[in-house]
Amino acid sequence: MIRSPYLLYLGHSNDEVGIKTSRGLAVFRPEACVGEFRHDDCGLTLDLPRMTFAEAVAAGAKTLVLGIANAGGKLGDDLVRDAIAAIEAGLDVASGLHNRLRDEPSLVAAAARHGRLLHDVRDPRPDLPIGTGKPRAGLRLLTVGTDCSVGKMYATLCLERGMRARGLTADFRATGQTGILIAGSGVPLDAVVADFISGAIEQISPARDDDGWDLIEGQGSLFHPSFAGVSTGLLHGAQADALVLCHDPVREHMRGLPHYAMPGLAETLEANLRVARLTSPDVRAVGVALNTSKLTTAQAERLCADTSDALGLPCTDPFAMGVDPIIDRIIACFAPSSRVATLTH
């Protein structure tokens, strides 16, 4: 187990999207975060106290979380140097990067020397099954997106909060390193061996008969040429009853790929429903989640209204505006009475 509280690492980051792990922890587990570590050239903040490693230890921090997520996930020299300094100051280190801490001899040596632990959150468990696609009981919702990093984890976590607040049973199922750090369990899907993608999702969202929902965190996009395989396996493994489409309206091109335009919302929804139907023939869309953080309130409300009209689905910014319109739709579609009605027809 990773010991909290955490010191969140920003390092030299100047890419807001790149620090989403650190920010996710600050937002969804604020009680576990004592501060942030950043260098002078880091233009970002999580609005947590800026601390050196020694100050963090004095404030009670147990673990430095390397909550930066660059494509490819290399451990840079700077990162290793900082992690060693943190170890020497008395902190464990947790990382969600592709490259493992355990593969960096200088880190392993420093941890051994000082009696500290290294946590690689992106190590999947070794007993993943092959997916079967067999129909299983329970209600499952999956967030899908036009692109990577458009708010799928946020939307899913906001839905968990919102559904619980309205008396529904709902459990977040994490598929990425930030989600796993927040939820305490899950599968780091991008690190799973390709043959086991759908099986890993079947494993973390098994059959349930309590009328509760598994809310599965989506990954990637069917329209991202680097990662669409992950998204496809996730759709098949999730066997989702409901999809929520997530989108960043100010994204200019596919993340990391200036030569790829963003797909349209209707096109994205249609493609996801088509792929999802292989294992869940009656899957339906129940809402659209926009990240409107770069828009004014008026712009955001207008955009949500227009998007809702265009797609015939409730549309909201889950973080800024809440998720009630989507929950209303979920209840309308999946309340026991409407499910019986569906079966009767």
Residues that bind a copy of itself (CB under 8 A): 71-72, 98, 129-135, 189-195, 197-199, 222-223, 225-234, 236-237, 257, 259-260, 275, 278-279
Count of beta carbons in the 10 Å neighbourhood of residue 270: 13
Q: Tokens 């996801």 appear where?
A: 272
Rounded Cα distance, 213 and 169, in Å: 6
Please state the closest distance from residue 326 (CB atom) to a copy of itself, in A: 27
Rounded Cα distance, 75 and 98, in Å: 9
Comparison of 132 and 185: residue with beta carbon closer to a copy of itself = 132
Q: Which helix (H) or strand (E) holds 164?
A: helix 152-165
Comparison of 84 and 216: residue with beta carbon closer to a copy of itself = 216
Comparison of 188 and 325: residue with beta carbon closer to a copy of itself = 188
Comparison of 75 and 163: residue with beta carbon closer to a copy of itself = 75
Comparison of 211 and 267: residue with beta carbon closer to a copy of itself = 267
Please state the closest distance from residue 16 (CB atom) to a copy of itself, in A: 20
Comparison of 133 and 322: residue with beta carbon closer to a copy of itself = 133
3-state secondary structure at position 320: helix
Comparison of 190 and 241: residue with beta carbon closer to a copy of itself = 190
Rounded Cα distance, 215 and 245, in Å: 13
The answer to whether residues 214 and 139 touch, using CB atoms and an 8 Å cutoff, is yes
Please state the closest distance from residue 99 (CB atom) to a copy of itself, in A: 11
Q: Which of 31, 183, 7 is nearest to 92 (CA)?
A: 7
Please state the closest distance from residue 234 (CB atom) to a copy of itself, in A: 8
Please state the closest distance from residue 221 (CB atom) to a copy of itself, in A: 10
Please state the closest distance from residue 226 (CB atom) to a copy of itself, in A: 4
Please state the closest distance from residue 260 (CB atom) to a copy of itself, in A: 6
Q: Could you write out the three-class secondary structure of 239-305?
A: CCCEEEEEECCCCCCCCCCCCCCCCCHHHHHHHHHHHHCCCCCCCEEEEEEECCCCCCHHHHHHHHH
The answer to whether residues 283 and 242 touch, using CB atoms and an 8 Å cutoff, is yes
Rounded Cα distance, 103 and 98, in Å: 11
Please state the closest distance from residue 98 (CB atom) to a copy of itself, in A: 7
Comparison of 212 and 229: residue with beta carbon closer to a copy of itself = 229
3-state secondary structure at position 189: helix
End-to-end CA distance of the chain: 49
